[in-house]
Amino acid sequence: MNASTAATTNADAAARARAVIPGGVNSPVRAFGSVGGTPLSIVAARGARVTDVTGRDYVDLVASWGPALLGHAHPEVVAAVQEAASRGLSFGASTPGETELAELVIDRLTVGGTAGIEKLRLVSTGTEATMTAIRVARGATGRDVIVKFAGHYHGHSDGLLAESGSGIATLGLPGSAGVPADIAALTLVLPYNDRDAVRAAFEAHPGRIAAIITEAAGANAGVLAPEPGFNDFLLQTAHAHGALLILDEVLTGFRVGAAGWWGLERAAGATWVPDLVTFGKVIGGGMPLAGIGGRAELLDLLAPLGPVYQAGTLSGNPLAVAAGIATLRLADTEVYARVDAAASVVSKALDEALTDAGVAHVISRAGSLFSVAFRNGPVRDYTDARDQEAWRYPAFFHAMLDAGVSLPPSVFEAWFLTAAHDDDALGRVLAALPAAARAAASASPA
């Protein structure tokens, strides 16, 4: 046994990690800070299941926070990565695979003859994708101010952490230390789904706003679906004031449907087309890969054609690209139908279990994404999301974990289903829910 597998309990693994890694984690929510207890140390994942360092397996509803649309370690994706690895890990030069992936993504984002994007630049993380999209928007408009929504998460770049979702929401932070005030001042944070606030921001800052960045459907403060027509309104309002709309599909892209959230809106009759779109997660099928897409005139502002600089040693990494191509090729309508159906089964059972246990709750859904909030009434914005009995979640979470179901370790995260969640896996989730709901019912505030 080598050093990395020597730990025999999750507690041992966590203690050893904490000695050399801040908080024992390389991304904060993994530390179980808001649910307490010992974080899992995972050694393997296959299909709908993950295996911890003790050899125990869990039905997984984290799915690597989204990428594992097909389930973990899909054999064809793993084979594609192995084949790519046999030809070399990184070249620092262009590859045919990058072009193939860009063609594939542009093709999928062409809905009813309308191109959602014309070009795509690949990077390694969603953070880089949104950071670069903002730089392109500023370069294109010659303006500095960015509008974002409270509770939306766009990665951890300086300007985007204000009132952000995901770990910032989980930890209850207003933003991050280490962000210069001058940079934070360039971000206007507005309440989500609030048209008046958007209009007022443009009126208050004439000629200064470069772009609105929005999650295509909010999913980082729990699920916050856009009200019908809200994304279209954002695009029209931005354009009326000479600004751009950046649609962040890092989480929703290729997960809620073949053409992401935008594709769902198009299918429902919308006609708007975003200026810039960011992708991550599913685009790399579990490998570090992300992208910025948009109209050619905007993407061609990037170096080497234009003055907006962006680069990356590992950008378009051949292993990541191979995983992305294999994943997108496999993600057909049947996959999306399976993921949608699995989400319906689990969200319905969750609703019933909490109702039976007498726990006030609301389930928010956006496509196959859903989350629970312990409150009465819908969740429209970040204020609503925080106005809940979040203290019920740790008991609920741990009851599920004890029963062998791994949920996101924060009430502010969406639950992720995959095409590998078969009847067996779903049965285990459904069997665990009633006791977890009762645990939530008998929880008390700290």
Q: Which residues bind ligand PMP (CB under 6 A)?
A: 65, 125-127, 130, 153-155, 166, 215, 220, 248, 250-251, 280, 290
Distance in Å, CB of 369 to ligand PMP, minimum: 10
Instruction: Pick the closer one to ligand PMP by CB: 39 or 67.
Output: 67
Instruction: Pick the closer one to ligand PMP by CB: 128 or 202.
Output: 128
Distance in Å, CB of 127 to ligand PMP, minimum: 3
HSE-up of residue 361 (Cα within 13 Å, Cβ side): 29
Residue 88's φ and ψ, nearest 5 degrees, are: 125, 145
Answer yes or no: 192 catalytic: no
Distance in Å, CB of 65 to ligand PMP, minimum: 6
Residue with tokens 């179901």: 405
CB burial of 307-329 (b: ≥16 within 10 Å; e: otherwise) equals: ebebeeebbbbbbbbbbbbbbbe
Q: Which of 52, 119, 148, 153 is catalytic?
A: 153
State how far Cα 271 lies from the chain centre. 24
Instruction: Pick the closer one to ligand PMP by CB: 210 or 217.
Output: 217
Distance in Å, CB of 262 to ligand PMP, minimum: 13
Instruction: Pick the closer one to ligand PMP by CB: 68 or 436.
Output: 68
CA distance 99 to 76: 20
Instruction: Pick the closer one to ligand PMP by CB: 274 or 349.
Output: 274
Q: Which of 52, 60, 248, 381 is catalytic?
A: 248
Residue 277's φ and ψ, nearest 5 degrees, are: -130, 135
Complete edge-to-edge strand list for the sheet that includes strand 57-60? 42-46, 49-52, 57-60, 405-406
Distance in Å, CB of 8 to ligand PMP, minimum: 30
In terms of Cα–Cα distance, which of 368, 344, 345, 349 is closest to 223? 368
Q: Which of 58, 281, 381, 393 is catalytic?
A: 281
Helices within 275-422 (DSSP H only): 296-299, 318-330, 333-356, 382-386, 393-402
- Three-state SS for 109? coil
Distance in Å, CB of 168 to ligand PMP, minimum: 11
Structure tokens that stand for 241 in this block: 């004031």
Pairing of strands 119-123, 290-294: antiparallel
In terms of Cα–Cα distance, which of 431, 444, 428 is closest to 359? 444
Instruction: Pick the closer one to ligand PMP by CB: 216 or 443.
Output: 216
Instruction: Pick the closer one to ligand PMP by CB: 125 or 170.
Output: 125
Distance in Å, CB of 250 to ligand PMP, minimum: 3
CB burial of 76-108 (b: ≥16 within 10 Å; e: otherwise) equals: ebbebbeebeeeeeeeeeebebbebbbebbbeb
Cβ-closest position to ligand PMP: 126
Instruction: Pick the closer one to ligand PMP by CB: 243 or 292.
Output: 292
Distance in Å, CB of 287 to ligand PMP, minimum: 11
Answer yes or no: 248 catalytic: yes
CA quadruple 285, 286, 288, 291: dihedral sign = positive
Helices within 241-373 (DSSP H only): 260-267, 296-299, 318-330, 333-356
Answer yes or no: 309 catalytic: no
- Helix H or strand E encompassing 14: helix 10-20
Structure letter (DSSP) for residue 369: E
Active site residues: 153, 248, 281
